Chain A
């Protein structure tokens, strides 16, 4: 148990420190310090990733996973989610790629963005992106990955629209975010469905990847189609994030952002998140072969579709953008046929050479004073030698020239597309054709940019870029060339290290008998259904902290596994089954790949160097086709017409509804209340007060009448007194004689009264 086991969380959190510092203290510490700090933090993440990698390297193959339960987070009822990072063979590779390429691009950005006024903000965003991406790749559960998923989407939006003074940049950012969001919605629905289903039918309430993958085969026992639906929903999310058909439309527009952004986010890392996600869910996908077929088909279609658009683009970055979409299609093709390691291998090499291509293109643009149209370039080879040489390296890699990194990864995918039980020769064919197209349009790009006669604008003096930019180019050039040697296939007497390295993370899940496809050609027999389930958790003694995401043991009766132990012997015969026998078909297909790569290069070279007239003739002879390709088949326009206009219409209607109907009701009730209050007030004023006033008036009137008695004249008072006295005297005198009668009368009166 080493220190790194409990500090894996530092890998993503290093750049987060950068974010906070840049936002709050960026002005204080100055631009130079900001740039240095940003790069240093990513470098530290890189070093930590290497540490983790070597730590894993030193472990037993079956034990290569470390769970760092950093922070308990949600515990609501049956839902238990924690900030837990898992380093296994798959995520360690991804972390290395992200932090490595990220570091180089950060260094490059210090040169490229040197004159920008919002330099500090740029690095804050870049660090934020790195943080989110590392969270995504190191996450141990779906929710945490989704946080990273959304985070990279946000940073993509922020960085695409970085120069927001131009409204088109802002629009591109919005487009990216909204299209992403459509995918995110699909992802989220998939997550909810999965969680609910597993909880209800399998009794497992979990979002942890390993547990989901381990229990996926049980879903097939109950409702096999649920697995397919969930996989397709997740793939919908991948389509948005990784720019596949039909949600790829944001990626070409995203070229409006600064070139380092394009390199990092839209070539090397963010767009690969979808591929990584499918590899992470390998257990689930293996149990839903229909979904895998969909994935592979869409990937192949995208590869060829995007490659065709790249033929006619004149903006250097747009060519690279469509190339990215096409290469992502390759990766999905790979994972779609069950070759998860091959897909990730291509992801890695693509990060190298595509990142290099973008950075080099940025160097060209920078040297050409922000000119991006290839028709205005040419003959730059002598002017920008370092850029040129690194561009050449990347070009050869992407074209699949033998010996370069791209050759090995692409070839692996094509072979698996043909040979895997989930694969099909038609898929291979599409990929094969797309490989040729890739070689062709990349050659076109090289020729138009660096060779031929110069077609520069007046006043443009191309120059080489400063070392801060060229050094990362060279640094990326190296793995572009040699990066493929970790995956040399057995055919060429290699040990295919990368495939074996990643196998425990992606290939050892139980596949239900009902959906199992035939034993793969030469693959291990590890996919045969086993009695016991291999669940690779970290041992309790070894790295699980309190509150780790573990289903409360319900035993095997419910089919859940909570074996906290070691991996079962399934790995045993898996290791043995990796033996490779020589397959002539594989050799043949490899030769065909080489041929089509070299053929594409030559054809492109010839077309654009010797016979420039042919492309022009093609453009004029079939103007309709040419314009269609140039305008990306009008897909954006179709979307705008079909979807966007209607959405705007609905929101406008909702707004009106709210203003007039809802507010109308509210205002109407207020008006009514006021009127009622007025009536009440009127009643109070007139009736209640009237009564009170009337009483007072009566009293006053009576008083007034009576006050007339007081005249102030004593003699009148005396008159009255005298009269009364006289009467009293009379009564007194007469009383004895009146008395008997009086008494009777009084008695009579009393009787009446009572």
Chain B
């Protein structure tokens, strides 16, 4: 019997790692990797809860949805990255600061 809180802690740590990647990495693709990590951490939480909730498959259904939406979202993200790349010829986020000031 694995205590739920441990699983959740793992999820939290992974979430924070993903957040750190999101906030720190300068490469746009790396930023989206961070997003994926965060989503997976959330999924882990769902599954953990589902595991300890038994009868209803709600958690897993939610996880499926999350995965699906993550994939869809990454499609859009990739499109955006490519569009950005076309515009400023770089995916370095420091150079995408036209909204400065």
A-to-B contact residues, CB < 8 Å = 707, 710-715, 718-719, 722
Contact = CB atoms under 8 A, between A and B. Distances in A.
B101 A713 contact: no
Contact of B23 (A707, A712, A722): A722
Most central of B24, B96, B97 by chain A CB within 10 Å: B97
A722 B24 contact: no
Interface in B36-88: none
B91 interface: no
Given A713-B93, A713-B94, A718 B101 contact: no
B100 A710 contact: yes
B101 A715 contact: no
B99 interface: yes
A722 B101 contact: no
Nearest to A718: B23
Interface of B: 19, 22-24, 31, 93-94, 96-101
Q: Chain A interface mostly helix, strand, loop or mixed?
A: helix
Contacts of A714: 93
A580 to B, nearest CB: 132
A718 B100 contact: no
Nearest to A715: B23
Contact of A715 (B22, B99, B100): B22
Can you list the 5 inter-chain pairs with the closest CB atoms, starting with the nearest?
A: A712-B100, A712-B97, A712-B99, A719-B23, A715-B23
Nearest to B94: A713
Nearest to A716: B23
B82 to A, nearest CB: 18
Contacts of B99: 710, 712
Contacts of B96: 712
A719 B31 CA distance: 13
Given A715-B31, A715-B93, A710 B101 contact: yes
B1 to A, nearest CB: 26
A713 B97 contact: yes
B31 A711 contact: no
A238 B19 CA distance: 127
A161 B75 CA distance: 119
Contacts of A713: 93-94, 97, 100
Given A712-B99, A718-B23, 13 more contacts: A707-B101, A710-B100, A711-B97, A712-B96, A712-B97, A712-B98, A712-B101, A713-B94, A714-B93, A715-B24, A718-B22, A722-B19, A722-B23
Contacts of A711: 97, 100
A191 to B, nearest CB: 95
A711 B99 CA distance: 7
A408 B99 CA distance: 129
A713 B96 CA distance: 7
A510 to B, nearest CB: 115
Contacts of A719: 23
22 contacts: A707-B101, A710-B99, A710-B100, A710-B101, A711-B97, A711-B100, A712-B97, A712-B98, A712-B99, A712-B100, A712-B101, A713-B93, A713-B94, A713-B97, A714-B93, A715-B31, A715-B93, A718-B22, A718-B23, A719-B23, A722-B19, A722-B23
Contacts of B98: 712
Contacts of A712: 96-101
Contacts of B101: 707, 710, 712
A714 B80 CA distance: 15
A341 B4 CA distance: 158
B30 to A, nearest CB: 11
Contacts of B31: 715
Contacts of B19: 722
A715 B96 CA distance: 11
A713 B22 CA distance: 12
Contacts of A722: 19, 23
Contacts of A710: 99-101
Contacts of A707: 101
A712 B96 CA distance: 8
Nearest to A713: B97
Nearest to A704: B101
A473 to B, nearest CB: 116
A711 B101 CA distance: 6
Nearest to B31: A715
A713 B26 CA distance: 10
Nearest to A707: B101
Q: Which of A707, A715, A722 has the most CB of B within 10 A?
A: A715
B19 to A, nearest CB: 6
A715 B19 CA distance: 10
A722 B31 CA distance: 15
Contacts of B97: 711-713
B18 to A, nearest CB: 11
A719 B25 CA distance: 12
A706 to B, nearest CB: 11
A727 to B, nearest CB: 15
Nearest to B25: A715
Nearest to A711: B100
A616 B23 CA distance: 143
Which among A707, A710, A713, A718 has the greatest number of chain B C-beta atoms within 10 A?
A713
A712 B23 CA distance: 14
A678 B27 CA distance: 65
A712 B101 CA distance: 7
Contacts of A715: 22-24, 31, 93
Nearest to B26: A715
A715 B97 CA distance: 11
A710 B100 CA distance: 5
A723 to B, nearest CB: 10
A718 B24 CA distance: 10
A715 B26 CA distance: 9
A147 to B, nearest CB: 93
A711 B98 CA distance: 9
A152 to B, nearest CB: 98
Contacts of B100: 710-713
A715 B23 CA distance: 5
A570 to B, nearest CB: 121
Nearest to B24: A715
Nearest to B22: A718
B97 to A, nearest CB: 3
A707 B41 CA distance: 36
